[in-house]
């Protein structure tokens, strides 16, 4: 089984330096793209590969690039932001890619920048990723010294500056338009769309924002061709980094064909549940995705299959709920997170999320009222997509509305017994 993204990653060891990366075939894709392909051809190759954004939204990457204004009339400078602000609770995949093979992430960034003919690229890195920051800084310097960055790259006449931008916290920065404001030195408040970043992004100029894992796929697609990518998995979308946390025997992260089933990931790779713990459910793709339960274990972890099952692939990193953990407490924890991380810009999110968290806390502490379940259900409607400025609050409602469905009995028991049965 091919594992292009993690083939050269050995946790616990120093990552490949420039020379090691080149010896392993690194920067060949960059040479191929710049010397043998036009920017349009690079975009088409990625479009044909059907690569979709790995940050959570799953938007087709090539399509995003194809929206960028090209040619002599395009506004300049154009920007690419490499979104390495991994902050979705339960998600730890980009950390591995950045720590384990920084040059792969940089090569993908440069090729993507070439496809959209960007002049400047930034890696927007979350503050907590200290080791990735150190390794990226070193790798960027090496890439400049080797002539893969800077002026007239590989003698093609195309120039690109790449800078590392380390943030100072807040989940909302991962939202692409909030990220634009953060980059510009403002509060990270989302912007209204349209205009989309490719129309008016950083400092009003055309901008593309792509996730780390997405960009790491790019060199391999260029090296091997789009057909290779579509043949790697049954769902025709390459590989995916899947993670599992919670009371399983071997929590961890694995690169597997896109569309591997939840059961295989949980049982074969994460080793199944720890002794004394029973599986009750799973949030398949980070905090802002809907719970799936036992009946969904054979669902394939690809964009379409997970959506058909009523959830989202999201980041592909699962959080497992076991029988010794209170589902109401878990949802309370999630809603508290979203309430705290709301940027405060729009009223439904700023007021609705703390309200939701307070109701859940009351239920958890045995002070829930019979009407609270209807109140919570109402919140999921009030904070539904398009009722708020961005996707934060609708995302927060996903685990809540699915918990109300799958764990209804547990909510009711809290209210009727006036206590948490797990305490």
Q: Contact with another protein (CB under 8 A): which of 28, 223, 230, 333? A: 333
How far is Cα 166 from Cα 154, in angstroms, rounded to an integer? 28
Q: Contact with another protein (CB under 8 A): which of 31, 186, 231, 405? A: 186
Q: How far is CA 242 from CA 220, 238, 252, in A?
A: 19, 13, 8
Q: How many CB atoms lie within 10 A of CB 59?
A: 13
Q: Contact with another protein (CB under 8 A): which of 252, 272, 348, 354? A: 252
Q: Is 177 in the site for another protein (CB under 8 A)?
A: no
**For the chain, counts of helices (H) and of strands (E):** 17, 8
Of the two residues 36 and 340, which places its CB atom closer to another protein in the complex? 340
In the bound complex, what is the minimum distance in angstroms from residue 169's beta carbon to another protein? 4
Are the CB atoms for 45 and 37 separated by under 8 Å?
yes
Q: Is 244 in the site for another protein (CB under 8 A)?
A: yes
Stretch 6-65 residues interacting with another protein (CB under 8 A): none
Name residue, tokens 């300049």.
76
In the bound complex, what is the minimum distance in angstroms from residue 71's beta carbon to another protein? 22
Q: Is 180 in the site for another protein (CB under 8 A)?
A: no
**Going residue by residue from 114 to 133, which x/- string records binding to another protein, judged by CB under 8 A?**
------------xxxxx---
Q: Is 321 in the site for another protein (CB under 8 A)?
A: yes
**Going residue by residue from 391 to 420, which x/- string records binding to another protein, judged by CB under 8 A?**
------------------------------
Q: Is 167 in the site for another protein (CB under 8 A)?
A: yes
Of the two residues 50 and 200, which places its CB atom closer to another protein in the complex? 200
Which of the stretches 60-68, 339-347, 359-367, 371-379 binds another protein when contact is defined by CB under 8 A?
Answer: 339-347
Size of the site for another protein (CB under 8 A): 56
**Going residue by residue from 356 to 375, which x/- string records binding to another protein, judged by CB under 8 A?**
--------------------
Q: Contact with another protein (CB under 8 A): which of 60, 69, 150, 169? A: 169
* Phi, psi torsion values for 244, nearest 5 degrees: -135, 130
Of the two residues 222 and 339, which places its CB atom closer to another protein in the complex? 339
Which of the stretches 2-10, 251-259, 368-376, 386-394 binds another protein when contact is defined by CB under 8 A?
Answer: 251-259
Q: Contact with another protein (CB under 8 A): which of 38, 144, 159, 163? A: 163
In the bound complex, what is the minimum distance in angstroms from residue 183's beta carbon to another protein? 7
Q: Is 140 in the site for another protein (CB under 8 A)?
A: no
What string of H, E and C letters represents the secondary structure of the chain?
CCCCCCCCCCCCCCCCCHHHHHHCCCCHHHHHHHHHCCHHHHHHHHHHHCCECCCCCCCEHHHHHHCCCCCCCCCCCCEEEEEECCCCCCCCHHHHHHHHCHHHHHHHHHHHHHHCCCCEEEEEECCCCHHHHHHHHHHHHHHHHCCCCECCHHHCCCCEEEEEEECCCCHHHHCHHHHHHHHCCCCCCCCCCCCCCCCCCHHHCCEEEEEHHHHHHHHHHHHHCHHHHHCCCCCCCCEEEEEEECCECCCEEEEEECCCEHHHHHHHHCCCECCCCCEEEEEECECCCCCECHHHCCCECCHHHHHHCCCCCCCCEEEEEECCCCHHHHHHHHHHHHHHHCCCCCHHHHHHHHHHHHHHHHHHCCCCCCCHHHHHHHHHHHCCCCCCCCCHHHHHHHHHHHHHHHCHHHHHHHHHHCCCCCC
Which of the stretches 51-59, 159-167, 225-233, 372-380 binds another protein when contact is defined by CB under 8 A?
Answer: 159-167
How far is Cα 11 from Cα 6, in angstroms, rounded to an integer? 10
Q: Contact with another protein (CB under 8 A): which of 39, 206, 246, 316? A: 246
In the bound complex, what is the minimum distance in angstroms from residue 243's beta carbon to another protein? 6
Q: Which residues contact 387 (CB under 8 A, 6 or more apart)?
A: 348, 393, 394
Of the two residues 72 and 168, which places its CB atom closer to another protein in the complex? 168
Of the two residues 287 and 309, which places its CB atom closer to another protein in the complex? 287
Q: Is 300 in the site for another protein (CB under 8 A)?
A: no
**Going residue by residue from 256 to 285, which x/- string records binding to another protein, judged by CB under 8 A?**
---------------------------x--
Interacting residues toward another protein by CB under 8 A: 77, 86-92, 94-95, 126-130, 161, 163, 165-171, 182-188, 203, 243-247, 251-253, 283, 287, 317, 319-322, 325, 329-330, 333-334, 337, 340-341, 343
């Amino acid at each position: 089984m091919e594992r292009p993204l993690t083939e050269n990653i050995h946790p616990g060891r120093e990552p490949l330096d420039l020379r090691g990366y080149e010896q392993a075939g690194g920067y060949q894709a960059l040479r191929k793209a710049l010397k043998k392909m036009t920017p349009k051809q690079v975009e088409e190759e990625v479009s044909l590969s059907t690569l979709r954004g790995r940050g959570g939204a799953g938007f087709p990457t090539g399509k995003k690039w194809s929206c960028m204004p090209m040619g002599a009339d395009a506004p300049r400078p154009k920007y690419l932001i490499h979104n390495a602000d991994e902050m979705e609770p339960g998600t730890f995949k980009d950390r591995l890619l950045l720590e384990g093979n920084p040059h792969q992430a940089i090569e993908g960034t440069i090729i993507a920048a070439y496809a959209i003919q960007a002049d400047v690229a930034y890696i927007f890195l979350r503050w907590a990723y200290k080791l990735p920051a150190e390794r990226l800084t070193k790798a960027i310097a090496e890439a400049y010294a080797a002539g893969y960055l800077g002026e007239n790259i590989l003698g093609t006449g195309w120039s690109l500056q790449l800078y590392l931008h380390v943030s100072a916290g807040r989940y909302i920065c991962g939202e692409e338009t909030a990220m634009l404001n953060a980059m510009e030195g403002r509060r990270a408040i989302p912007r209204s769309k349209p205009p989309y970043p490719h129309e008016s992004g950083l400092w009003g100029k055309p901008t593309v924002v792509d996730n780390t894992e997405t960009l790491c796929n790019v060199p391999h697609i260029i090296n091997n061709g789009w057909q290779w990518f579509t043949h790697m998995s049954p769902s025709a979308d390459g590989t995916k980094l899947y993670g599992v946390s919670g009371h399983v025997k071997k929590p961890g992260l694995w690169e597997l064909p896109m569309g591997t089933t939840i059961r295989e990931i949980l049982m074969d790779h994460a080793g199944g549940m720890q002794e004394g713990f029973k599986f009750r459910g799973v949030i398949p793709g980070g905090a802002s995705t809907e719970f799936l339960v036992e009946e969904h274990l054979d669902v394939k972890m690809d964009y379409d299959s997970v959506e058909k099952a009523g959830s989202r692939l999201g980041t592909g990193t699962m959080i497992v709920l076991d029988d010794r953990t209170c589902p109401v407490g878990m949802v309370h924890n999630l809603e508290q997170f979203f309430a705290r991380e709301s940027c405060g810009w729009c009223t439904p999110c700023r007021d609705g999320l703390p309200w939701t968290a307070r109701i859940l806390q009351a239920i958890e502490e045995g002070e829930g009222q019979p009407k609270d379940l209807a109140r919570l259900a109402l919140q999921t409607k009030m904070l539904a997509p398009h009722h708020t400025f961005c996707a934060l609050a609708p995302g927060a409602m996903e685990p809540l509305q699915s918990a109300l469905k799958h764990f209804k009995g547990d909510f009711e028991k809290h209210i009727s017994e006036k206590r948490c049965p797990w305490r």
